[in-house]
Amino acid sequence: MLDVKSLSFSYSKEKITISDINFELNAGEVCSIVGPNGAGKSTLLKCLDSLIKIRSGSIILDNQDVIKMNRRERAKNIAYVSQNSQTSPLSVYDTIMLGRMPFSSFYTNEEDAKRVEKIIEEMELTSLANKSITELSGGELQKVMIARALVGEPKVLLLDEPTNNLDIHNQLKLFSLVKKLAKEKNIIVIIIVHDLNMSLDISNKILVLSEGRMEAFGNKEVLTSKLIEDVFKVKNKIITQEGKDLIIYEE
């Protein structure tokens, strides 16, 4: 379980960027973070991975204090995939192998190789394994970055707007993959999503941020028409179609 209590962060003493964030997530759950631009979504993910130092609060993962973990321990427990992953002209195989670094000394071993080969097969990347990642499409590259994160078998996977610059087809494939990974690997997935309808479709929990504050957290029911209008400043109505809730935006 991931238990976040009273988390606050500021880039300067004068202005708090995110304030008093509280939520709990269990293994196997997908939580989408939604909110307007500048709400603090990416900042929150970086706090959860201790990429930036929080001002106050706590982050507890399975009774362990994430803030007190050293870098290697954190890397074994939490994997973070940024919006714009830095790439170098390595093969897909070697790029994914980098995800085993927290478990190895300078050299990789047979166990590392087995885990890389397994995740390549699971992620359907076998035909791309020897290609340079500079040759991949946007959708293929995102799959490789997620595979690199997963090869370390983390308990938490953090995805910062993974569908940026992807076409609709690849967005849908990636969201389907996220749901599958959480369920089959029994990990917590926290993902920043811009499409509110997609957040309803893929999420067990939804966290709504606005101006650094948590406006709502919980099951899909928290995303009400009134909340959407208050936070996103857009009129809307929510209908049920073929058993699924659908947000319709109005002028």
DSSP string, 120-152: HHHTT-GGGTTSBGGGS-HHHHHHHHHHHHHTT
Q: In 3-state terms, what secondary structure has residue 198?
A: helix
209-219 pLDDT, tens digit each: 999 999 999 99
Q: Which residues in the chain show pLDDT less than 70? A: 14, 84-87, 104-108
The range of the structural domain enclosing residue 241 comes to 2-249
Q: Provide the CATH number for the domain around residue 154.
A: 3.40.50.300
pLDDT of residue 85: 65
**What are φ and ψ of residue 182, in 5° steps?**
-60, -45
Predicted local confidence at residue 12, as pLDDT: 78
Provide the pLDDT for residue 89: 83
- Residue 26 CA to its chain's centroid (Å): 15
User: What pLDDT is stored for residue 162 in this prediction?
Assistant: 87
Q: How many domains does the chain have?
A: 1
CB 93 within 8 A of CB 120: yes
Distances (CA, A) of 211 to 65, 83, 186, 231: 27, 20, 32, 9
The predicted-structure confidence for 34-69, as pLDDT tens digits, reads as follows 999 999 999 999 999 999 999 999 999 999 999 999
Backbone angles phi, psi at 209, to 5 degrees: -110, 145
